[in-house]
Amino acid sequence: MKKRYLTIGFLLAPLVVWLTCEVLARPISVRIAQRWGLKIVHAGDGKFSDAAIFLQHRFIEGAWLVTLLTGLAVLSIALGALLARRFQGLWKWVPFSAAGFIGVNAWLKFAVATPLFWCLFWNGKGTTDNLTQFHIKLLLMDENRAPTKVVLAGSSQVRTQIDARLLNAQFGSNFFTTELHFPGNRTFDDLFLNRELEGHKADIMVCYLSEANFYVGGVSEGFSLFLTFRDLPEFFRMGGKLGWSDKSLGYALLGNMLPLFWLREPITERVMGEQLTRLRQRQLESGLGPDLHQRAMAAAPTYRLDDQSAFCFEAFEEFVIQCRTQQRRVVVCCGQVNPILARVLDPALRPRMLSFLRGLAAKYPNVVLLDEGDLPAQTEADYEDLVHATTAARIRFTEALAPKLQSLSLN
């Protein structure tokens, strides 16, 4: 009898939630936005511009997640009960646990497609893990109604070089810029991003490219988080090898099968706090010496021409080809690293990179190349470390880039 009432409750809950959402979601969202709209938009840090729409969509997503949860709970219980018939006594917990584990992973598989789910892991600006920040920005970009959408793609360099909020402030409603960097990005990661953007409006892709994108390996920090089974043929076709990072490959494929494992870092940060999850990064930073010249000498040997750099060049060309098919323009900024590091790198590296990028612009009409002379030159004083620009340099670079992007949006 209890199981029957429980099942009825699971079935009625979504109906009640959806009826409540249909009647109250919009008026409550408008009322809240009228009173606290500016604060909500400010807290969103440029990720959305209309508080009422943001709130209304989150209410709808909440109803969807509750419906999904109750439906999968019923199926998990039914599956557990069916399998439990084959077990005796105390072992009946095994099928119910297995069915529940499957149900949790199935729920997560669908839930990650909603901004509301990722907002549950938000810990504040600068203290939220990278996977959470990436998906919040990706999923919320659709809620802006600007006619032209611009995506800043690349590593942490693009984040420190280009200020998305400054661009949006300058051009108002003409176009909307979303920064979708991921730390340690390599060019194969641009293919991951292009796949993530399927179904989203992205007219212009802005890539800030320096030696750090091509010459320090083909596998990035985000490889284990974004690689899927369908990416494997392309990875090996371009010359990718298991030996580059078999651990990352294993983690990626396991995460594909088990969303609970894929979300290990956001969940750990939410449960244990960001102090624990960022411990390794702090230990790494504390081991770096304050002398940038010494750090440059230590880092220089990791920048090299090899089979991994060839892989990176081919991956970026494939990214350009895919963007052309999707009618997306690619703005390529010929970036740089700190001159302190540049002076000790192999002198063959930068000419090879510039030749490749200029060749892409000549070969593919969807590529807009901003060569060295088109961008502000940066000195040692413009860098916080070997690759990341200061706030002043970012503002100066963004102001130089803005009119060039505006001219593209008007064409």
User: 401 falls in which pLDDT band (50, 70, 90)?
Assistant: very high
CA distance 313 to 305: 11
* Under 8 Å between Cβ of 152 and 181: yes
pLDDT of residue 5: 65
Q: What is the predicted pLDDT for the residue at 16?
A: 81
Q: Which residues contact 19 (CB under 8 A, 6 or more apart)?
A: none
Q: How far apart are the C-alpha atoms of 116 and 60, rounded to whole Å?
A: 10
Distance CA 176, CA 239 (A): 36
- Predicted confidence at residue 182, as pLDDT, reads 92
Asked if the model's pLDDT at residue 317 lies above 60, the reply is yes
Task: Give 124's DSSP letter.
Answer: -
Looking at residue 36, its amino acid is: W
* Distance of alpha carbon 188 from alpha carbon 392, whole angstroms: 30
**Domains parsed from the chain with CATH numbers:** 2-119 (no CATH), 130-241+288-410 (3.40.50.1110)
Please give the pLDDT value at position 369. 95
Query: pLDDT at residue 102 above 60?
Result: yes
- Structure token pair of residue 203: 């007219």
- Report residue 322's pLDDT band, with 50, 70 and 90 as the boundaries: very high
For residues 288 and 295, the answer to whether their CB atoms sit within 8 Å is yes
pLDDT bin (cut points 50, 70, 90) of residue 327 is very high
What pLDDT, on the 0 to 100 scale, is given for residue 25?
85
pLDDT at 44 over 70: yes
Mean pLDDT of all residues in the chain?
88
The token pair at 100 is 């529940």
Q: What 3-state DSSP class applies to 145?
A: coil
Angle formed by the axes of helices 307-325 and 187-196, nearest 10°: 30
Owner of token pair 């529940």: 100
Percent of the chain whose pLDDT exceeds 90: 60
3-state SS assignment for residue 333 = strand
pLDDT digits (tens, 9 = 90+) for 223-248: 999 999 999 999 999 999 988 988 88
- Calculate mean pLDDT across residues 76-95: 83
Asked if residue 117 lies in contact with residue 132, where contact means CB atoms within 8 angstroms, the answer is no
- Which run of H or of E encompasses 369? strand 367-370
Between CA 267 and CA 272 the distance in angstroms is 8
Average pLDDT estimate for 71-84: 86
Q: Is the pLDDT of residue 379 over 60?
A: yes
Give the mean model confidence (pLDDT) for residues 7-31.
81
Whether 294 contacts 170, CB under 8 Å: no
In contact, 311 and 239? CB cutoff 8 Å: yes
Residues 150/410, Cβ–Cβ less than 8 Å: no
pLDDT tens digits for 117-171? Answer: 999 998 877 778 899 999 999 999 988 888 899 999 999 999 999 999 999 888 8
For residue 89, pLDDT over 80 is answered with no
Q: What's the pLDDT score for residue 410?
A: 52
Span 340-353, mean pLDDT?
A: 96
Give the model confidence (pLDDT) of 260-299 as tens digits: 999 998 988 888 776 655 555 554 555 566 789 999 999 9
